Amino acid sequence: MNIYCFKFECECPNNQQRIAYRVEIRSAQTIMVENIAGFFLSFTAAYQEDIADQSYQRFGGQQTISAHHHGVDIETRRGWQ
């Protein structure tokens, strides 16, 4: 099992505030770190749930994306049964 963690920022589409995210991807496959960084840094404005959906399609495995949105902690999981 490989565990990849990455931090990035993206703009909230509702009010254009910057949101800091942390993503963790657990995968039996090897994922190039350049692919992870490039993927998440390509987002300029997006909803957390949409980022999670696209990331899961791209990398698979078990993923958790967490952030603090305007006073609310959100954790979005994909691939967890």
pLDDT, residue 80, reads 86
CATH number where 67 lies? 3.30.1130.10
9, 30, 55, 72, 76 from 44: Cα distances, Å: 8, 26, 15, 21, 19
Q: What is the number of domains present in the chain?
A: 1
pLDDT, residue 40, reads 98
**Domain range holding 44?**
2-78
pLDDT, residue 70, reads 85
Q: List the chain pLDDT tens, one digit each, 81 residues.
A: 999 999 999 999 999 999 999 999 999 999 999 999 999 999 999 999 999 999 999 999 999 999 998 899 999 999 987
The pTM score is 0.93
> Token digits for 21?
């995210």
